[in-house]
Amino acid sequence: MKNLRLIVLGLSSILVAACGNQIEKTKTAIPVNPAKVQGLPKVEDFQAVANKFGASLSLPKFEDSPAEIESVTKSTLEASEVALKEMSTRSRAEMTFENSIRKMDDVLLDAGNLLARLDLIKETSTKADVRDAAASAEVELRQWFTGLDYREDLYQMTKDFQNLNPNLQEKRPDLNAESLKYFDDLARGYRRSGMGLEPEKRKEVESLRKQMDEIETQFQQNITEDKTTVEFTAEELTGVPEELFSLYKKNPANGKFIVSARSPSQAVPILENAKQEETRKRMITARYQVAMTTNAPLLEKAVANRDKIAKLLGYKTWADYRIEIKMAKNVETAEKLLVRVAQGLDPKMKKEVEEMLTLKRRDVGNAQTEFQIWDYYYYMNQLQKERYSVDPEALKVFFKSDNVLQGMFKVFGLAFQLKFTQVEAPFKWVDDLQLFLVQDSKTDEPLGLVYFDLFPREGKYNHFAQFGITSGKLLSNGVYQRPVVAVVCNFPPATENAPSLLSFDDVETMFHEFGHALHSVLTRAEYASYSGTSVQADFVEAPSQMLENWVSQKDVLDVFAVDYRDPSKKIDQSFLDKIRDSKLGVAGVYE
């Protein structure tokens, strides 16, 4: 089987080439950022257009207090229980695919959307008590969803329907492939949950899974809420660009700079640029120990629980259980792939480490020194500078975050015939939040809404991700609910002397995460269970991996990559070739 990354790169090149002439026409000034325009249109202004396409375009209400979260969780679960009881107790003589099987996806929509929304609130709210309340409610909802897998009434309803319709496809040729898959997945889900086990074992599996719901939620919250910091003097930060110092708070008692261990925009520049090895060591040690005290026991418990679940369900290991429904199908196949990839990369990785070790021994004047994990970022950076004449810091002037965002809209707009309009966000969980409507540029059909929360802050999710908010779905009344999602990132914010500037890797990340957002808002799935990125895990990253590779195309970069101080300056092809070579030059270690 060909390497997926090569396939992705090939598709990327084909698509960029296909719209190359159109991209060429966009190499003019970047449009004015709509965020600066007053009187933004409202989402409801576009509902009339949505009506023409049989669609609903709406934003949910975001809960902003513990009381609101508690209330909406209670009411949503109560309403869902009533609907499930009505569905499961319906006379079997009246049972149809629509009022039993498909109805399951309908009934679970509100609870699923609430769970997604609370997960976002837990990771983005500026209020600690709201984050805590969202985390508690998320556990309650996740455990409720887990409990559905063990509901005898729902299980029996599904079995009865299956017995009454042993050849569903023949009996209902009007059902599309998505509907048939939903029924098959529902039946498979009960099997994998352990509904075929004797009651005592089944109850144990359910209990262990509910424990995992709590463990997994708490594990992530501990990372989000972690406040680990490291203090450095200016001398200890030698090599770190001085313009970044304004990102760090100062300890008034000793004048040292306070660096958040969990913040990539604060910690990574130190790992990449600090000349003193001890500085890098302290930084990466703190970063790798974020929430360690609280999460180590949770991790041990999670590993033990997963092993118990797997064995109770008849699998040798948790890996065997998880991989059964993926392309590899079994652990042996996956291990063979991993070994083959590792063996292929090993010679290149060793060569790269040796090159970086040579640089380190030269710098420290000690031929016996060894390469350590805290040296990786720094000497990868130095190798790029010395061997390939690529300075990642110097490149940032070409990637002002506003320009990247607007340029990305242009590129994706041309490739997928879309247009993006900034609209008013009725509720903002942070002041610099932006909301954009995505439409078909040919028909004006509204396709979905995307929030952008781009910069770090205390108590916020510390990585980069797309969060679902409202799933796309064909509702029971025939109206299609268009999706709402959020792109949550931690890009370097503006400093005292410069706007927010991204690295080349940051730009790839922007394209990658927005790729997930587009995957979500362009959905036509009838079932929320398959909406957007709710696809097979083997495939979910493929669209974004393709789109992030567009950043390496000069035609794409020319749309937005201009020196913010002098827009006439762009990245020429020869320098772009050096960037590519520098990335390939450390691919063995990086991959």
Give the model's pLDDT for residue 243. 87
Give the model's pLDDT for residue 37. 47
1 token code pair: 């089987």
Q: Which fold has domain 4-57+396-560?
A: Collagenase (Catalytic Domain) (3.40.390)
Pairing mode of beta strands 562-563, 566-570: antiparallel
What is the DSSP secondary structure assignment for residue 42, as one 8-state letter? P
Burial of 405 (0-12, 13-18, 19+ CB in 10 A): buried
Please give the radius of gyration of the chain, using alpha carbons only, rounded to the nearest integer.
Answer: 26
Alpha helices in 243-291 (DSSP H): 264-273, 277-288
**Distance separating alpha carbons of residues 548 and 513, to the nearest angstrom:** 9
- Could you tell me what percentage of the chain is helix, strand and coil, using 3-state DSSP and rounding each to the nearest 5? 60, 10, 30
Task: Let me know: does 64 contact 489? Beta carbons within 8 Å.
Answer: no
**Distance separating alpha carbons of residues 251 and 488, to the nearest angstrom:** 29
- HSE-CB at 178 with a 13 A cutoff on CA atoms is 14
**Distance separating alpha carbons of residues 393 and 471, to the nearest angstrom:** 39
**Distance separating alpha carbons of residues 423 and 58, to the nearest angstrom:** 12
Tally of residues, the chain: 591
Please give the angle made by the CA atoms of 241, 245 and 250, to the nearest 5 degrees.
155
What is the DSSP secondary structure assignment for residue 100, as one 8-state letter? I
22 token code pair: 């159109």
What is the DSSP secondary structure assignment for residue 40, as one 8-state letter? P
Coil, helix or strand at residue 11 = helix
**Distance separating alpha carbons of residues 460 and 488, to the nearest angstrom:** 9
Residues 6+ apart with CB under 8 A from 233: 255, 256, 257
Give domain 66-223's CATH architecture: Up-down Bundle (1.20)
Residues 6+ apart with CB under 8 A from 565: 397
Task: Let me know: does 247 contact 284? Beta carbons within 8 Å.
Answer: no
Q: What are phi and psi of 186, to 5 degrees?
A: -65, -45
Q: Is the dihedral of CA 9, 10, 14, 15 positive or negative?
A: negative
In Å, what is the CA distance from 521 to each residue of 105, 471, 526? 19, 9, 13
**Distance separating alpha carbons of residues 102 and 287, to the nearest angstrom:** 46
In Å, what is the CA distance from 382 to each residue of 240, 333, 355? 13, 38, 11
**Distance separating alpha carbons of residues 377 and 356, to the nearest angstrom:** 10
Q: pLDDT 10s digit of each residue in the chain, 591 long?
A: 334 444 444 445 444 444 555 555 444 433 334 444 468 999 999 999 999 999 999 999 999 999 999 999 999 999 999 999 999 999 999 999 999 999 999 999 999 999 999 999 999 999 999 999 999 999 999 999 999 999 999 999 999 999 999 999 999 999 999 999 999 999 999 999 999 999 999 999 999 999 999 999 999 999 999 999 999 999 999 999 998 898 899 999 999 999 999 999 999 999 999 999 999 999 999 999 999 999 999 999 999 999 999 999 999 999 999 999 999 999 999 999 999 999 999 999 999 999 999 999 999 999 999 999 999 999 999 999 999 999 989 999 999 999 999 999 999 999 999 999 999 999 999 999 999 999 999 999 999 999 999 999 999 999 999 999 999 999 999 999 999 999 999 999 999 889 999 999 999 999 999 999 999 999 999 999 999 999 999 999 999 999 999 999 999 999 999 999 999 999 999 999 999 999 888 888 877
CATH 1.20.1050.40 in the chain, residue ranges: 66-223
**Distance separating alpha carbons of residues 208 and 306, to the nearest angstrom:** 8
Maximum CA extent, the chain: 85
Whole-prediction pTM: 0.92
Q: What are phi and psi of 55, to 5 degrees?
A: -125, 155
